[in-house]
Amino acid sequence: MPSLVHTKAGDLSDVMLASIYKYWRALGTGLCFGAFGICSMLANFTVLPIMLIWPGTPENRQRRIRIFISRSFRALLSAIAALRLGWVDVEGKQWFAQAGGKLVLATHPMYLDVVALIAVLPTADCVVKKATLRNPFTRFFAKAAGYYSNEDSVEFLDTCIHALRNGHTLIIFPQGTRTLPGETLHFKRGAAQVAVRSNCWILPVMIHCSPPALVKNTMWYQVPERPWRLLVKAYPPYNPAASPQENALPNAIVARRLTRQLEVFFNQELSGHEYPGAGTETAHNRFA
């Protein structure tokens, strides 16, 4: 009988500790986002004006602003890791190092995947939602960095094609919005149109979060039962225009086929993916 009592008491203690830890992670998430928001507002009126008037060409100023954004995102992710709220794992760093002039197409499962990808590719062009360019916390830096809005489809395509033809790295999330956990990926055709019309190479990037956290239709305080792990994995780049048969077809048909191919590829990769255990070497926040 005493052993049974001790077992029940131990189980109750474990449940209480798990509950306290979960509340702490919710509080820690709020603290990180709150601190980052305050720092962003202060930087809008201190750091950004200095960077805009600092001597140099417009391209140099834009590059400095993007690097500052990337380092700020790294600081946010490092704070999240230090508080044991979640970790970021990066795989395929050799492919990220060859991202120049390529179209980076990434999945979009959570709020911080954009943050993680810009942290990995600090000087890349990025397509952002129009809400980002209207949010008082993000609009000034996003505009100063020269990030693109997908609001005007015609101008959006021309701008992206021009950037790639000039050797820029361009980040696009072809889903357009965050996908709910377990939901089959469906891509918009704009990303494929950009790839086909610019005749560029594609760098596929799978971003996957386990357990799901900061997903669509959830609040920041709705944290999972354990710390999340976000995988940012790059695959070998490829040229969709390498096939002579595809080159003979109209762009609209090629873009439609490419969209379907990308959907099949990413859905297969996501369905077959497993995360390493918490005690393995790869389960760490690694940007270096």
69 touches 259 (CB < 8 A): no
pLDDT at 212: 92
> What is the share, in percent, of the chain residues with pLDDT greater than 90?
62
CATH 3.40.1130 fits 2-271, yes or no: yes
The DSSP string of 217-278 is T--TT---SS-EEEEEEE---B-GGG-HHHHTS-HHHHHHHHHHHHHHHHHHHHHT--PPPT
Indicate the range of 5-14, 91-100, 129-138, 205-214 predicted with least confidence. Answer: 5-14
Percent of the chain with pLDDT over 70: 87
Residues 221-234, mean pLDDT to the nearest whole number: 93
Which pLDDT belongs to residue 12?
62
CA dist 109 and 213 (Å) reads: 9
What's the mean pLDDT in 126-152? 87
The model's confidence at residue 11, banded by pLDDT at 50, 70 and 90, is low
217 pLDDT higher than 80: yes
As a whole number, the mean pLDDT across the chain is 86
On the CB side of 18, CA atoms within 13 Å amount to 9
What is d(CA 151, CA 83) in angstroms, rounded to the nearest whole number? 37
Confidence of residue 278 (pLDDT cuts 50, 70, 90): very low
pLDDT, tens digit (0-9, with 9 covering 90-100), for 177-188: 888 888 889 998
Q: Take residue 129 and report the two structure tokens written for it.
A: 């939602």
For 72, list phi and psi in degrees, rounded to 5: -65, -40
Q: Where are the domains of the chain?
A: 2-271
* pLDDT at residue 131, rounded to an integer: 82
Q: What pLDDT does residue 244 have?
A: 55
Q: How far is CA 162 from CA 159, 167, 192, 225, 250, in A?
A: 5, 9, 15, 45, 20
The answer on pLDDT for 99 being more than 70 is yes
Q: What was the pLDDT predicted at 78?
A: 96
| Rounded Cα distance, 40 and 141, in Å | 9
The amino acid at residue 86 is G
Q: Is the pLDDT of residue 16 over 50?
A: yes
Which pLDDT band holds residue 76 (cuts at 50, 70, 90)? very high
Residue 190, pLDDT above cutoff 70: yes
Order of strands across the sheet that contains 148-149? 86-91, 228-234, 202-210, 103-106, 170-172, 125-128, 148-149
pTM confidence score: 0.86
